Amino acid sequence: MHPLIQDWLLQSALIFLALGGVAGILVGALLVFRPGAFNALSAPLNRWVSTRTLDKTLESNFSLDPWLYRHRHWTGAAILLGALFVLYFFSVKLDRTETLAGLARHYHYYPSMLAGLLDALVLSALLGALCAAFVALCLLFRPSLLRGFEASANQWLSLRRALKPLEIPRDTLDRYVERHARQAGLFLLLGGLYTLVLLAYSLARGA
């Protein structure tokens, strides 16, 4: 990984931990000394936001099959040309040795470590191009061959049904904290202090 990215990730983690420690101290102190005030402040934040409206918009079904078959000669020719270009580029034009050397210089990795990833990319591109060429030829000459494939591929998967378990409010933790406000506040207070002391000690040793 590039040193600049490593420094950025490290600084972000330190800032995140420091802010988390300060927030834990503040929330913990509020729970220990003023639990009623904490409940009043947290009430506006505990507002349920439903995603069902967004899900309903995403559930709209748009079919491109009629348009595709109505212009099958143009779409088939375009897909076939794209597939032939991919086949030509990855089988003839691509220089594997030069590509590995360029990737190694750019990402600071050994070529042997990138060889497997490049081979997987080339194989995936060639297989995808062959499938695209087959579909294009079917569109151009025998569209009926795609009917059986469409019947199995055009299955509608409902997003609303998949996200339905997430639409159930779960306030068990909130009610537990309300019943044991001072104990939870003491835990947060000690955790925040420990995090800040540990960060200060690590920074002092690294300075």
**How far is it, in rounded angstroms, from Cα 146 to Cα 70?**
14
- How many CB atoms neighbour CB 129 within 10 A? 21
Residue 100's pLDDT is 82
Residue 207's pLDDT is 55
Q: Which residues of the chain have pLDDT under 70?
A: 1-4, 43, 45, 50-63, 148, 151-153, 156-160, 162-163, 170-171, 173, 206-207
Domain residues of the chain, as ranges? 3-45+64-150+172-206
**How far is it, in rounded angstroms, from Cα 143 to Cα 97?**
41
Task: Please state the pTM of the whole predicted model.
Answer: 0.49
Residue 43, SS3 per DSSP: coil
Residue 49, SS3 per DSSP: coil
Do 87 and 133 form a contact (C-beta atoms < 8 A)? yes
Residue 206's pLDDT is 66
Helix axes 111-141, 96-107, angle to 10 degrees: 120
Question: CA dihedral defined by 185, 191, 194, 199, rounded to 10 degrees?
Answer: -120
